[in-house]
Amino acid sequence: MTPEAHQMIVHIKDLIRKPAVTIDENTPLVSSGLIDSMSLVDLLLKLEDLTHKRIPAGKVQPKDMDTVAKMFATAERVGKPRK
Amino acid sequence: MLPYANLIEALEAAPADRPFITVWIDEDDHETVTFGEFRSLARAQAATLAREDVAEGDPVVLIMPQGVPAMTTFVGAMMLGAAPAFLAYPNFKVEPSKYRSGLAGVTANLSAKAVVIDENFPDEMMPCVSLGPETKLLRAGQNKGNVRKSHEGAHFAQIRPDTLAFIQHSAGTTGLQKGVALTHASVIRQLGHLATALKIDSAHDRLYSWLPLYHDMGLIAAFILPMVCHVPIVMQLPLNWVMQPESMLQVVSECKCTLAWMPNFAFQFVPRRTPQSRWADYDLSSLRLLINCSEPVRASSMSEFRRAFRVKEGVLQSSYAMAENVFAVTESDIERGPVTIWADGQQFRGVHRIFEVAPETPGAVSFTSSGRLLPNQLAKIISDSGERLEDACVGEIAIKSDCLFEGYYNRPDLTTQVLVDGWYRSGDLGFLLNDELYVVGRKKDLLIIGGENIYPQDVEEIVSAHPAIHDGRVIAMGVYNPSLGTEDVVIVAEVEKEELLSDAAQLKQEIRSRVVGGLGIAVRTILLKPPKWIVKSTAGKPARSATRGKLLREHPEWNSEA
C-alpha cells in the first residue's frame, strides 16, 4: 500500500468514527453505507491534497469513490496537475 | 425597454451563431450550443410535447438534471403556450425523505398536463410524483441525438402578452414551495428594467452561473435574462460547484465572464474553501458585476471575497429579488455600488429604528443596502398592523409593481394572506433610507426577547465565528417560555468534528459569553450536534423551519407555544 493510500484510510477511519471496522484499499465504502455520500466532498478534497492533483468534481461519480483503490485510480484517470 | 411581445419572440431574434449555453464540466470537457441550435432543439421538444397533446395554458412539470435538455424542454413548452415549471432533481445533498414529501406536494398542486422526468430518475421515487388522471408521464433521454428530430407537425401557439410563460417556485424548503405563475408581459417588463439598470451589453457580456434553475435567481437571472438579451452563459452544474467552490474562480478566469449572481453565503464559502495559497492564481478582472442577491447582504461577506481575489472596486453589487415579482425589486446603482451604514445597535433592536452612528461607536451594527428600486417598483415599510412607516423605521417590506404575480398557483388561500390591496407582503424585514432599501431578515424568524428584536442571523454569525463550530451550520431560534412570557433563544450548532463534543460544556460556555458580549442577550439552551445534523434546503443552506421541526420532535416539552 502506498503511504498516500494509508493516509486516506486513516482519514476515513477518523471520519466514520467506528474503531471496530477494518478498512483496506478494497473495502466498499459508499455502497456498503460506511460513508454517506455527503462525505464525498470531504474525501475529494483529501484526495486532491494527497495526490497533488486537481480532480474536477464533474467527472467523479459516487461509485468512483467507493474504495480507496478506486479513489486513487479516479485521481489518476481524471486528475490534472496543479499549475 | 425590450422590443418583444413575448419570450419566444425574443429568442427568435437572437443571432443564430452566437454561443448561448456552455455547460462547463472541466477545461477539456465543455459543450456549447448556439442560439440557433438551442432554438432547433427547443422546437423539437415542442413537437414532442405537442404529440402528447400539450397545448396553451397547460402546466408542464420538468424533473430533469440541469442542462441543455431541461432548458430546451422548458422553452419548447413555452413555444406551445404551455406553462413549464422546473422542480429540483434529487441529489445526494438533499435528504431523500424531505425530497419525496416535497415532490409529492408540489406535483399534486400543479396538477400538470405532462410531467417530463429524466430517464435516470430513481424508480423508487416515482411513487412520489403525483399524477392526476389526465397527466401524461414522459421519460426524457439525455442523449442529444434523440432530441434532434424534425419538429414538423408542431403547432406553435400565438402567444399573447397575458399568456402564462412559466411557473417558478418561491424560495424555501421543497415542501413549502409555492408556485408563482407569471405572464410573458410581466417577465418582459421585469427584464427590460433589469437589463437597463445593469447596462447589459449583449455583444460583450458573458454570464457565469452555478445557480439551480428551480430557484428564481437561477431561472430568471441566469437563464431567461440571457435568453432574452442574447447573452452567452457559462454554466456549471450546482452540485459540481458545491463539491468544488473553487472551480467557479477557474471558470470565470478562463472564460472571461463579466456577470454573475450569487447568494451572500457564497461570498464567504468560495474563499474559505479555496486554499489561500491559490487565491492569487485566479484572474477575475473580466468581471463587471457580481451581484449579491436572495439573502440579506452582509458587508463582511462581500469584503472577504473582494480581498481574497482582488476584485476591482465597483464590481460587487447587491439586489433584492423574489419569485413573486418575477425577480428583482431593487438593484444597487452600478456606478456607486451598495451603501453600507452603521447604526446604534440598541435603538435598532429596541425601538426598531435606524440612528446612524460612526463605525467605531461601541455597539454599532452595520447594514449594507440591496440598492434602489427599479423604475417599475414601489416599496413601503409597514408595521404589524399594516400602517406605513417612515424612512429609517424597521418593518415588513411590501411591494407593488407592474410585474407582480397575481397569486399562487391553485392556492388562493395562500394568496390572500400576502396580497393586500395590490401590495405584496414579502415577509422580509427591512427599512428604507435615502432611497436605498436595506433587508435585515425574515419576519417569521425574528426573535423577540424581552421586547427587543433579535435577528437570528446576528446570533448565528457570532456562533459561526467560533473555530469549533462548522461555519454556516448554526440556527438560532426563539422558543416560547411560558413562565417568563417571552421567547428564549435556542441555538443549534454543528461542531466541526464529532470529537469536539467531548468538550461540550466548555464550548457552550464560550458561545454563551460571545453572544452576551455581542448582543447582550442570554441564551437559554445551546445544542451542539455532530456534523450534518441540521436540515438543509435544496440550495444546501440550513433550513430554519425544517430544523425547528426536527428539534421540536426531540424536545416535545418546547411545543407549548403561546
As a whole number of angstroms, the distance between CA B436 and CA B438 comes to 7
pLDDT band with cut points at 50, 70 and 90 for residue B538: low
Angle, nearest 10°, between helix axes A40-51 and A3-16?
A: 160
Exposure b/e, B181-196, CB count within 10 A at least 16 = b: bbbbbbbbbbbbbbbe
Contact yes or no for B266/B245 (Cβ under 8 A) = yes
Taking an 8 Å cut-off on Cβ atoms, the answer to whether A37 and B92 are in contact is yes
Q: How far is A3 from chain B (nearest CA, A)?
A: 23
Strand partners, B209: B235
Determine which of A45-54, B31-40, B168-177, B478-487 has the lowest per-residue pLDDT on average. Answer: B168-177
Neighbouring CB atoms inside 10 A of B514's CB total 16
Strand partners, B542: B536
Co-location of B215 and B297 in the same domain: no
**Number of C-alpha atoms within 13 angstroms, CB side, residue B351?**
7
Closest-CA residue to B523 (of B547, B490, B486)? B490
Exposure b/e, B461-489, CB count within 10 A at least 16 = b: bbbbebebbbbbbbbbbbbeeeeeebbbb
Co-location of B212 and B251 in the same domain: no
* pLDDT digits 0-9 by tens, B428-445: 999 999 999 999 988 888
Neighbouring CB atoms inside 10 A of B339's CB total 19
Q: Least CA distance to A56: which residue of chain B?
A: B26
What pLDDT was estimated at residue B172?
A: 52
- Assigned domain for B52 exists: yes
Co-location of B367 and B497 in the same domain: no
CATH of the domain at B547: 3.30.300.30
As a whole number of angstroms, the distance between CA B115 and CA B63 comes to 7
User: Which residues, including other chains, have CB under 8 Å from residue B184's CB and lie 6 or more apart?
Assistant: B5, B6, B7, B159, B160, B161, B162, B163, B164, B165
What pLDDT was estimated at residue B94?
A: 64
CATH of the domain at A68: 1.10.1200.10
Give the pairing of strands B447-449 and B452-454: antiparallel
What pLDDT was estimated at residue B428?
A: 93
Strands of B64-214, DSSP E: 83-86, 114-118, 136-140, 164-169, 179-183, 207-209
Taking an 8 Å cut-off on Cβ atoms, the answer to whether A58 and B498 are in contact is no
Q: How far is A26 from chain B (nearest CA, A)?
A: 23
Q: Where does a domain end: B444, B459, B492?
A: B444
- Residue A83 pLDDT > 70, yes or no? no
Co-location of B175 and B317 in the same domain: no
Taking an 8 Å cut-off on Cβ atoms, the answer to whether A62 and B244 are in contact is no
Contact yes or no for B433/B409 (Cβ under 8 A) = no
What pLDDT was estimated at residue B9?
A: 96
Mutate to test the interface with B, among A41, A47, A55, A65 (most CBs of B within 10 A): A41
* pLDDT digits 0-9 by tens, B74-88: 999 999 999 999 998
| B272 close to A (CB below 8 A) | no
Co-location of B226 and B255 in the same domain: no
Co-location of B53 and B181 in the same domain: yes
Co-location of B555 and B478 in the same domain: yes
What nine digits make up the cell of B195?
437589463
As a whole number of angstroms, the distance between CA B222 and CA B191 comes to 12
Q: How far is CA B561 from CA A29, B484, B545, in A?
A: 43, 12, 15
What pLDDT was estimated at residue A18?
A: 74
* pLDDT digits 0-9 by tens, B467-500: 899 888 899 988 877 776 777 889 999 998 888 8
Higher pLDDT, B105 or B30: B30
Q: Least CA distance to A43: which residue of chain B?
A: B243
pLDDT band with cut points at 50, 70 and 90 for residue B559: low
Co-location of B258 and B367 in the same domain: yes
Quick one: average pLDDT of B44-66?
94
Kindly list the residues from chain B whose CB atom is less than 8 angstroms away from the CB atom of residue A57.
Answer: 239-240, 243-244, 247
- Assigned domain for B44 exists: yes
Q: How far is A10 from chain B (nearest CA, A)?
A: 15
DSSP symbol at B540: S
Q: Where does a domain end: B200, B235, B270?
A: B235
- Residue A2 pLDDT > 70, yes or no? yes
| B124 close to A (CB below 8 A) | no
* pLDDT digits 0-9 by tens, A21-34: 899 999 999 878 78
Contact yes or no for B82/B55 (Cβ under 8 A) = yes
What pLDDT was estimated at residue B155?
A: 62
- Residue B451 pLDDT > 60, yes or no? yes
As a whole number of angstroms, the distance between CA B394 and CA B446 comes to 12
- Residue B308 pLDDT > 60, yes or no? yes
Q: How far is B26 from chain A (nearest CA, A)?
A: 6
Determine which of B44-58, B138-152, B459-473 has the lowest per-residue pLDDT on average. Answer: B138-152
Q: How far is B222 from chain A (nearest CA, A)?
A: 20
What nine digits make up the cell of B188?
418582459
Q: Where does a domain end: B188, B216, B235?
A: B235
Task: Report the length, in residues, of chain A.
Answer: 83
Co-location of B192 and B287 in the same domain: no
Q: Which helix (H) or strand (E) is B373 found in, with range?
A: strand B372-373
- Assigned domain for B2 exists: no
Q: How far is A24 from chain B (nearest CA, A)?
A: 23
First-last CA distance in chain A: 28
- Residue B176 pLDDT > 60, yes or no? no
Give the pairing of strands B364-368 and B340-344: antiparallel
Residue B375: domain span:
244-444
As a whole number of angstroms, the distance between CA B59 and CA B383 comes to 37
Neighbouring CB atoms inside 10 A of B15's CB total 12
What pLDDT was estimated at residue B146?
A: 47
What pLDDT was estimated at residue A37?
A: 65
Contact yes or no for B165/B228 (Cβ under 8 A) = no
Overall number of domains in chain B: 3
- Residue B561 pLDDT > 60, yes or no? no
- The three-state DSSP-derived secondary structure of B119-133 is CCCCHHHHHHCCCCC
What pLDDT was estimated at residue A74?
A: 95
What pLDDT was estimated at residue B243?
A: 83
Average pLDDT over chain B, rounded to an integer: 89
Residue A64: domain span:
3-81
Co-location of B468 and B402 in the same domain: no
Interface A:B, Cβ pairs < 8 A: 38
Give the pairing of strands B372-373 and B328-331: antiparallel
Closest-CA residue to B478 (of B562, B534, B367)? B562
- Residue B232 pLDDT > 50, yes or no? yes
- Assigned domain for B498 exists: yes
Report the percentage of chain B scoring pLDDT > 90: 61
pTM over 0.90: no
Specify the long-range contacts of residues B334-340, CB closer than 8 Å, at least 24 apart.
Answer: B334/B197, B334/B198, B334/B199, B334/B289, B337/B313, B338/B292, B338/B297, B338/B302, B338/B368, B338/B369, B338/B370, B338/B371, B338/B436, B339/B368, B339/B369, B339/B434, B339/B436, B340/B299, B340/B366, B340/B367, B340/B368, B340/B369
What pLDDT was estimated at residue B555?
A: 81
Co-location of B546 and B459 in the same domain: yes
* pLDDT digits 0-9 by tens, B131-166: 888 889 999 875 444 444 555 555 677 899 999 999
pLDDT band with cut points at 50, 70 and 90 for residue B3: very high
Contact yes or no for B159/B8 (Cβ under 8 A) = yes
Quick one: average pLDDT of B366-370?
95
Contact yes or no for B249/B267 (Cβ under 8 A) = no
Quick one: average pLDDT of B522-534?
88
Quick one: average pLDDT of B274-302?
93
Helices (H) and strands (E) in chain B, counts: 17, 28
Residues 60-79 of A with CB under 8 A from B: 60, 62
Co-location of B81 and B218 in the same domain: yes
- For B120, list phi and psi in degrees, rounded to 5: -95, 5
Q: Least CA distance to A16: which residue of chain B?
A: B498
Report the percentage of chain B scoring pLDDT > 70: 93
Higher pLDDT, B274 or B353: B353
Mutate to test the interface with A, among B244, B283, B499, B500 (most CBs of A within 10 A): B244
- Residue B33 pLDDT > 80, yes or no? yes
Taking an 8 Å cut-off on Cβ atoms, the answer to whether A38 and B532 are in contact is yes
Overall number of domains in chain A: 1
What pLDDT was estimated at residue B148?
A: 47
What nine digits make up the cell of B324?
413573486
DSSP 3-state assignment of B489?
strand
Taking an 8 Å cut-off on Cβ atoms, the answer to whether B26 and A41 are in contact is no
Q: How far is A50 from chain B (nearest CA, A)?
A: 14
Mutate to test the interface with B, among A38, A44, A46, A47 (most CBs of B within 10 A): A38
Highest-scoring range by mean pLDDT, B93-107, B212-226, B232-246: B212-226
Highest-scoring range by mean pLDDT, A60-64, B14-18, B481-485: B14-18
What pLDDT was estimated at residue B13?
A: 97
Q: Least CA distance to A83: which residue of chain B?
A: B281
